Structure 1
Amino acid sequence: MANPSKAKGTAFESALVAYLRDHHNPDARRNVQMGRLDIGDIDGYYLHALEAKAEKEITLSSYIAQANREAIHAGQPFGCAVVKRRMKGAADAYVVRDLATDVRLMNRLKAMEDALMSKSFDLWYDIDEELREAA
């Protein structure tokens, strides 16, 4: 690849896909770029359009605006930017979204947990225990 910045971005996207495949969704994949109707860099991060950023100068506001716009194009309820930390791997990247998006996500999570808890407390408890241990 002639452009070193593009090569770094591609390498970061590939590392994110590998991480997501190992720890979240085995079907995660890089998306084909679609210009102004772009749907995010990576598909397979549950409920999210994911915008990957591996840049020397970090501009969170533009990343979030782009991720939110691409979530709409992708038909996903949430957008987020995953920002590479210098000298660190994919697992140490930052996941960034605006507070409004995060509140919508937390409200959804709470509603789903409340629904599961009221339907089957034992199942909710088992899942809660398993995921607490994984953290």
Structure 2
Amino acid sequence: MANPSKAKGTAWESLILGYLREHHNPGAHRNVQMGAKDIGDIAGYYLHAVEAKAEKTITLSDYIAQANREAVNAGQPFGCAVVKRRMKGVADGYVVRDLATDVRLVNRLRVMEEALQDESFDRWSDIDAELREAA
């Protein structure tokens, strides 16, 4: 690849994709670039449009604005940027979103957990215990 920055970005996307496939969704995949109606770099991170960034100078406001636009284009409720952390592996990358997006995400999680508790408290309790052990 003639452009070293593009090669670095592609390598970062590939690392994120491998991580998501192993730990989250085997069906995750890289998106084809859509120009003005771009839908993010990676699909398959549940409910999110993912913008992958591996740059020396980090500009969070630009990344979040881009991720939020691409979430709208992708029909996803949430956008996030996955930013490479210097000298660290993919699992140490930063997942970044603005507070408004994070509050919407956490509110959704809270509402869904409350619904599961109401429907089947024993099931919720088992899942909660399993996830706490995994953390």
TM over 0.5: yes
Aligned to 2:26: 26
- Runs of 4+ deviating beyond 3 Å: none
Aligned to 2:114: 114
Aligned to 2:60: 60
What secondary structure does 1:125 align onto?
A: helix
> Aligned-residue CA RMSD in angstroms?
0.5
Unpaired segments of 5 or more residues in structure 1? Answer: none
Give me the TM-score of the superposition, normalised by structure 2.
Answer: 0.99
Q: 1: distance between equivalents of 2:8 and 2:126?
A: 41
Give me the TM-score of the superposition, normalised by structure 1.
Answer: 0.99
Aligned to 1:48: 48
Q: 2: distance between equivalents of 1:16 and 1:69?
A: 20
Aligned to 1:91: 91
Unpaired segments of 5 or more residues in structure 2? Answer: none
Q: CA deviation at 1:134?
A: 1.2
Q: CA deviation at 1:133?
A: 1.1
Q: 2:121 is aligned with what amino acid?
A: F
**What fraction of aligned residue pairs are identical, expressed as a percent?**
79
Q: 2: distance between equivalents of 1:65 and 1:132?
A: 33
**Number of equivalent positions:** 135
Q: 2: distance between equivalents of 1:82 and 1:99?
A: 16
Q: 2: distance between equivalents of 1:13 and 1:89?
A: 12
Q: 1:128 is aligned with what amino acid?
A: D
Q: CA deviation at 1:5?
A: 0.7
Q: 1: distance between equivalents of 2:61 and 2:31?
A: 22
